[in-house]
Amino acid sequence: MENMIFDTAEHLFSDFAEAGFEAMPVHAEDGATEWMPDLWTQIEELGLPTTLLSEDQGGYGLPPSCGLGLVRLAASHAIPAPLGETLVANWLLAAAGLPLADGPATLACGPQITAQRLQGTADRIAWGRHAQTVVVLSVDSIARVHRGRVSEQGFNLAAEPRDTLTWDCEAETAAAPVSEITFRAIGAVLRAQALAGTLEAAVTLTVEYANERQQFGRPIGKFQANQQPLAIAASQTAAARAGADMATDLLPLALTAPDRFITAAAAAKQRAGEAAGMVAGIVHQVHGAIGFTQEYRLQALTRRLWAWRDEWGNEAEWADHLGARVASLEPNGFWPFLTWTGDAA
Amino acid sequence: MTIPFAFPAPPAGSDHSELRAEVRAFLAETLGPDYGATLQARSWNGHDPEFSRKLGAQGWLGMTFPKEYGGHGRSALERYVVVEEMLAAGAPVAAHWIADRQSGPLLLHFGTEAQKHDILPRIVAGECYFCIGMSEAGSGSDLAAVKTRARRDGDGWRLNGTKIWTTYAQHANYMIVFCRTGDSEDRHGGTSQLLVDLSTPGITITPILDIAGEHHMNEVQFNDVLLPETALLGQEGQGWSQVMGELAFERSGPDRFLSSYALLNELLRVLGNAPDQVAQRAIGRLTAHLMVLRHMSRSVAGMLENKENPTLQATIVKDLGALLEQEIPEIARSIAPADPVPGPQHEFAQVLARTLMSAPSFSLRGGTREILRGIIARNLGLR
């Protein structure tokens, strides 16, 4: 089942990769990429947005590595759609006993939830203007609501919409299945998986390029001066992927024993964010001038690396979180802490 | 189009928390409260045969060997738990380390029944120690350039040549010598591995002191050393593929990212419960890196258990691990300033000094950083 979903998703994402790249505005300051309605229709037709759900909830009862693996796969093709946000929105709504999302969904924190009302503003919301459902978390409540008013249209370095949304309306509310910090950690794992997929794609593209591009009479991939940094890029990619997978496997704990999940999520986002910066530098260096052009595909990947490492907490934020946690341990408590964090997986 | 590797989590139930608790209790009792950071910082260089025999008595050596050879038939992940607890405690594991990590598994794969029955039970008991016979003066990263040669001589072999950088040869019972046994034109062909009892006449072991003046390494000369026919390990002419397998064992464990652990632990002690912002962030970052590396290293153990070949994954863990091990002293000195003074005056300074002086070896031993990255590049499809 898992392989079948990955195979069909891989087909879909491959088919839309070129169009997704073409949809990016030429100029980075021109705003967000255009919505691709056919892409989203097919994502829904394949049932991808419910992949994190149990069978009782209307899903397939697959491990979280399947659902969040799709986020990585989509990112490896630079697919412009809020698949990860919608997967998590459905998962949280199901856990809270609320109806699943209508259409594309996104996640927000900030506005106040009182009784059946939602009031306030959330900014930098991923794909906000295109979301039909927004899952809002506030203190110990969760709300399922329409996108509200788009009070400002923004975008990120990768031309993805990042909008300010404002609500003063009725909403379907429930007790929150997760805390605000857990919510942020889930977002961090989404981006860690997306970074891992983007890193894989960037390294793969660069290896292919290095094996084709000839200088001094042979492919530039023959030179140790290029092989060694590409090996570093591959190892960094492996670490980003491993961290993201480690946290992904613990996702169910977000609902029951969140401390362990948050710790793994913090490590995952810190590690993937650090890998992103290093690898982006290497893949551009190996590509030379062609990789620095708008028309070549590499920029769709590296701009995502630079954008996503700062979303849902950058390396510093999550390192601070882990550092505070470690400082609070008893003397000689560090090793038991490390084995405790890992052994749930 | 995918990168040819992943690090899946080991199977559920791999944490073996009871075993872990047993090992921790044993270490606390055996090492005692006076076993401080300076001793721990020797990492896997602390040599103590008595400690090795105690581990053997606990059933924690040769854990994965089959019972017919005295082993305990336990999983690679159980062994992983024991090994990482030893390293985190800085226990003196050097005596049995090579035997348990690589020579034993090599014998198990390629040894004759007689060799296995003779040697493996003694490794399991913590009484039989090995050293590595790979490097030579003219053959470091270029292992295929070895010149040490064994010739057929009557019913046995006559061995001549010199091995170098041999850790704890002075205390070892055996060396597995990688050498030429044929005249093949192919650099990799005509090589074999020989099991050499170091008490055989004609062997001279000379110390080489490291940059701290300590004696771990040696030069080992073989002058017309006569070995029995049964010294051959595995197949004649198959030395290259065997030695590559041995290196895979050598590179696969948690010893490849925990070498500076004692310093990190000591750093946390010095910082206490109220580190400043800079220190807190640095510690958090190191924690993230350690968590991820440990996940990757356990994944390698899971692959070994599933009889998969994790050579590439182990290479990646070793390269990333050495980077972290070498970064730890640099970070430690930046957030807890102290002159790195050797000697017992100040524990943190002493551990820092020791770790700094060990650190260059982290990216040399077991394959240099450059060689590892060459392996990774080749697996990416470059070359």
Measure the CA–CA gap between B209 and B217, rounded to whole angstroms. Answer: 7
Query: Which chain A residues touch B376 with a CB distance below 8 Å?
Result: 231, 234-235
Give me the amino acid identity at A318: W
Long-range contacts for A47-55 (Cβ within 8 Å, ≥24 apart)?
A: A48/A5, A48/A9, A48/A83, A48/A87, A49/A83, A49/A86, A49/A87, A49/A90, A49/A101, A49/A105, A50/A87, A50/A90, A50/A100, A51/A5, A51/A87, A52/A87, A52/A88, A52/A90, A52/A91, A52/A251, A53/A90, A53/A91, A53/A94, A54/A94
Q: Do A326 and B291 touch (CB under 8 A)?
A: no
Q: Which residues, in sequence order, are CB contacts of B48 under 8 Å at separation 6+?
A: B92, B94, B95
Measure the CA–CA gap between B168 and A40, rounded to whole angstroms. Answer: 64
Measure the CA–CA gap between A318 and B321, rounded to whole angstroms. Answer: 21
Query: Across the interface, which of B2, B15, B274 has its CB nearest the CB of A200?
Result: B2
Taking only Cα atoms into account, the Rg of chain B, rounded to an integer number of angstroms, comes to: 21
Q: Is the pLDDT of residue A127 over 60?
A: yes
Query: Which chain B residues touch A208 with a CB distance below 8 Å?
Result: 1
**CA-to-CA separations, B89 to A229, B37, B45, B310, in angstroms, rounded:** 34, 9, 13, 27
CATH 1.20.140.10 positions along chain A are: 180-343
Cβ(B123)–Cβ(B61) under 8 Å? yes
Measure the CA–CA gap between B147 and B143, rounded to whole angstroms. Answer: 10
3-state secondary structure B63-88: CCCCHHHCCCCCCHHHHHHHHHHHHH
Q: Do A271 and B288 touch (CB under 8 A)?
A: yes
Q: Which residues, in sequence order, are CB contacts of A310 under 8 Å at separation 6+?
A: A273
Query: Across the interface, which of B6, B285, B292 has its CB nearest the CB of A243?
Result: B292
Tell me the mean pLDDT in the region A21-26: 95
| Number of Cα atoms under 13 Å in the Cβ half of residue A141 | 18
Query: Which chain B residues touch A321 with a CB distance below 8 Å?
Result: 284
Find the farthest-apart pair of alpha carbons in chain B and give their distance in angstroms, rounded: 72
Q: Do A268 and B1 touch (CB under 8 A)?
A: no
Measure the CA–CA gap between A35 and A17, rounded to whole angstroms. Answer: 14
- What does pLDDT average to over chain A? 96
Give the mutation candidate from A205, A224, A246, A253 for the B interface (greatest B CB count, under 10 A).
A246
Percent of chain A exceeding pLDDT 90 equals 97
Establish, for the pair of chains A and B, how many residue pairs have beta carbons separated by less than 8 Å.
180
Q: Two tokens at A71? A: 């986020």
List beta partners, residue B222. B161, B203
Measure the CA–CA gap between B330 and B350, rounded to whole angstroms. Answer: 14
Q: Is the pLDDT of residue B184 over 90?
A: no
| pLDDT of B1 | 43
Query: Across the interface, which of A203, A270, A343 has its CB nearest the CB of B3?
Result: A203
Homologous superfamily of the A180-343 domain (CATH): Butyryl-CoA Dehydrogenase, subunit A, domain 3 (1.20.140.10)
Q: What is the pLDDT of residues B104-148, one digit of tens each?
A: 999 999 999 999 999 999 999 999 999 999 999 999 999 999 999
Give me the amino acid identity at A42: Q
List beta partners, residue B215. B209
Could you give the domains of chain B? 17-128 (1.10.540.10), 132-237 (2.40.110.10), 252-380 (1.20.140.10)
Tell me the mean pLDDT in the region B215-240: 97
Taking only Cα atoms into account, the Rg of chain A, rounded to an integer number of angstroms, comes to: 20
| pLDDT of B338 | 80
- Dihedral sign computed on CA atoms, order B286, B11, A190, B3: positive
Strands, sheet with A105-109, edge to edge from the N-terminal-most edge strand: A105-109, A133-138, A141-145, A172-175
Helix (H, G, I), strand (E, B) or coil at B219: strand
In chain A, residues 193-252 whose CB comes closer than 8 Å to chain B: 200-201, 203-204, 207-208, 210-211, 221-222, 224, 226-228, 230-232, 234-235, 237-239, 241-243, 245-246, 249
| pLDDT of A344 | 58
| pLDDT of B2 | 56
Q: Is the pLDDT of residue A173 over 80?
A: yes
Measure the CA–CA gap between B264 and B258, rounded to whole angstroms. Answer: 10
Q: What is the pLDDT of residues A208-249, one digit of tens each?
A: 999 999 999 999 999 999 999 999 999 999 999 999 999 999
A322 and chain B in contact, CB less than 8 A:
yes
| pLDDT of B87 | 96
Cβ(B172)–Cβ(B198) under 8 Å? yes
| pLDDT of B344 | 67
Q: Name the more confident of B117 and B307.
A: B117
- What does pLDDT average to over chain B? 94
Q: Chain B residue with minimal CA distance to A218?
A: B383
Q: Do B15 and A266 touch (CB under 8 A)?
A: no
The DSSP bridge pattern shows strands A141-145 and A105-109 to be unpaired
Which residue blocks in chain B are alpha helix, DSSP H? 17-31, 37-40, 49-58, 76-88, 94-98, 104-110, 113-124, 239-251, 261-271, 277-305, 311-335, 347-362, 369-380
Query: Which chain A residues touch B276 with a CB distance below 8 Å?
Result: none
Give the mutation candidate from B295, B313, B368 for the A interface (greatest A CB count, under 10 A).
B295
Helix (H, G, I), strand (E, B) or coil at A233: helix
* B154 — pLDDT class (breaks 50, 70, 90): very high
Give the mutation candidate from B292, B347, B376 for the A interface (greatest A CB count, under 10 A).
B292
**CA-to-CA separations, B286 to A241, A305, B44, B109, B282, in angstroms, rounded:** 17, 22, 21, 37, 6
Give me the amino acid identity at B287: T
> What's the ipTM?
0.97
Q: Chain B residue with minimal CA distance to A224?
A: B374
Q: Which of A69-73, B253-257, B346-350 has the highest mean pLDDT?
A: A69-73
Q: Residue-wise over A6-20: b if at least 16 C-beta within 10 A, else e? A: eeebbebbeebbeeb
Q: What is the pLDDT of residues B234-263, one digit of tens each?
A: 999 999 999 998 898 888 889 899 999 999
